Amino acid sequence: MKSFYVTERSAIGDDAFLRLLERLGGAAELTVELREKEASDSEILRWAKLARTRLEPEVPILVNRRLDVALAAKADGVHLPADGLPFLRVRASAPRGFRVGVSTHSVQEAVHAIGEGADLVVIGPIFETPSKKPFGPALGPGILEDLPPLETHDSEVFAIGGIDEARLEAMAPFRDRVSGIAAIRLFQETADPRAIVERVGCL
């Protein structure tokens, strides 16, 4: 499976965040989403450029919500929250090859995003987690079985929400429905984030 690291720089501090990116480096099958909710446009732009210097070129960097900032930063894509701009509107404004991801909070929303052609679809919360409480109760891993098989579409689908090291194996049975795991703490609260990416890759 693939890894999707959603950043929360404020939780670990600037220096630790940069060290984390350096440890991840050119990890295979990794995508990084810069999720800087409290940062100004100029700060997001700065951190996107810094992240690019710490990660290998083959690691895609997405900017949360802000298409304009993502384009200015020469990021690889943008990730739209559930209350963000409509996917089709963003897709129409984005250049060829620019990746557009969408957050969803039900199977129905995920299927809709897949049908519209989203490059990445994130569904959750799968388990209870502080960052996803506003989106309602945990969906439970069983709902992943209701997603269309990956072989039937071109979207990458990631499960998110409370997926820690102890719960990684619970995701393995759904490898034909989800492309990988998206998380904040899974990658930030570990001494060896590269090892986590490798472990996810073995699921």
Rounded CA-CA distance 39/31 in Å is 21
Taking alpha carbons only, the member of 145, 132, 141 closest to residue 168 is: 141
The predicted pLDDT at position 47 comes to 95
Query: Is the overall model pTM greater than 0.85, yes or no?
Result: yes
What are 105-139's pLDDT values in tens digits?
999 999 999 999 999 999 999 998 876 566 678 99
Contacts of residues 133-141 at CB distance under 8 Å and 24 or more positions apart, as own/partner, are 135/82, 135/105, 136/105, 138/162, 139/105, 139/106, 141/170, 141/171, 141/174
* Total domains, the chain: 1
The predicted pLDDT at position 133 comes to 65
CATH code, 61: 3.20.20.70
Rounded CA-CA distance 170/190 in Å is 19
The predicted pLDDT at position 137 comes to 86
Rounded CA-CA distance 103/124 in Å is 8
What stretches in the chain show pLDDT beneath 70?
A: 131-135
The residue segments making up the domain with residue 105 are: 2-201
Phi, psi of 25 (to 5 degrees): 45, -115
* ω into 125 cis (within 30 of 0): yes
Structure tokens at 201: 């890759």
The predicted pLDDT at position 131 comes to 64
